[in-house]
Chain A
């Protein structure tokens, strides 16, 4: 057993405390007052764990209640609940069997011995979850919830941190007090703990999803298209479309690169005169079918800048392009002439 004596005593006392949950808090604490010292004596006396020597904490608590002449506070059950109580008893037995069976996997006699050690960690987590749940319900800015319990606008991180610390301390305080004596507060505490656990699971998956989503979008934008400087659109016939405008499904213009060209020879940048993509028709990646540029204008095209067209033609002409005798209209994309 890899429990130190202090841990073992602590967890035993804690379990007895839980089992005494039906008693008023003052009576309970009075009963538990010198139990740790007493258990230390028992442990020091000989070998064997506390459970081996004293029996289970719940049995110990029951004996304590009986011998101290205290009523458990649990009134006899009305007959309608008999069946429910029976089922609950069976469930409890099943849990006990699992407890004993799983324990050795964790290196403890019973799984609950290990779980009891985790109880303070749950208190901290519960405080955090309560703060987050509060922020989730009462925050009015409807932004992504994030990891801090923010309530209100931006710039309240300090408040959020303070709120978080207070919530965690409160949860620890509540945990150290043990279960409340009254039936209603006890059920209330258990119910809200269960709700927080569900909130945690849902929140966890949501957070996981949004984290992966962000990473995906980030890759998409930054890696795949960030180096795009120009766009070349080809029609069904393989003709380069000039002055193309790109829009997404919401009608927002899609912009790539700067509207200008870098001369591959000199490296100089000059502003493009195209009204759309491509900015630099003479740098088309598939020049084979390319008509001789944007100057063979369809009727609907705006008045082209003579200087730009002249420049384009010159450049295209110098390239390896096989220039058709009569360039088809780019806009019509039909091989027929005007």
Chain B
């Protein structure tokens, strides 16, 4: 196990990741989980995504609506609202700034 544990990193950015995969398309819980995994976050926990969605919803960043389905269960879709989009921008900038710094650090030291 490297000193940097991906699951620990994930905890810090899961909110941002979830907001990001909802930027273009609304999605329901399992769908969002799939998008995150497809994007490469394979270790993301089922319950973590589920809980994160509840928390983002409770803090007013998401809206939700239920889509009945003929086959299978009804699905609760989540969508970014205005506050959610603002949060995505703000947090996204924080992350990009952070990532740039880390990149620089690694480039100077790691490749030297």
**Chain A contact residues, CB within 8 Å of chain B:** 30-31, 33-38, 40-42, 44-45, 53-54, 60-61, 63-69
Contacts and interface: CB of A to CB of B under 8 A. Distances in A.
23 contacts: A31-B51, A33-B76, A34-B76, A35-B50, A37-B75, A38-B46, A40-B72, A41-B30, A53-B46, A54-B47, A60-B46, A63-B45, A63-B46, A63-B48, A64-B47, A64-B50, A65-B51, A66-B48, A67-B45, A67-B55, A68-B51, A68-B54, A69-B51
B14 interface: yes
Nearest to A50: B46
A40 B30 CA distance: 10
B89 interface: no
Nearest to B75: A37
Nearest to A69: B55
Contact of A60 (B14, B29, B47): B47
Among A40, A41, A60, A65, residue most surrounded by chain B Cβ atoms (within 10 Å):
A41
Given A34-B29, A42-B30, A67 B50 contact: yes
A38 B50 contact: yes
B74 interface: yes
A30 B54 contact: yes
Tell me the dominant secondary structure on chain B's binding face: helix
Contacts of B58: 68
Contacts of B29: 34, 37-38, 41
Interface in B11-53: 14, 29-30, 45-52
A68 B55 contact: yes
B110 interface: no
B78 to A, nearest CB: 11
Sort A-B residue pairs by CB-CB distance and give the 9 closest, nearest first. A67-B51, A68-B51, A37-B73, A63-B47, A41-B30, A67-B48, A64-B51, A64-B47, A60-B47
A130 to B, nearest CB: 35
B46 A54 contact: yes
Among A33, A61, A65, A68, residue most surrounded by chain B Cβ atoms (within 10 Å):
A68
Interface in B40-98: 45-52, 54-55, 58, 72-76
A31 B54 contact: yes
Contacts of B47: 54, 60-61, 63-64, 67
Given A37-B75, A67-B45, A67-B52, 10 more contacts: A34-B76, A38-B29, A42-B46, A53-B46, A54-B46, A60-B46, A60-B47, A64-B50, A67-B48, A68-B54
B74 A37 contact: yes
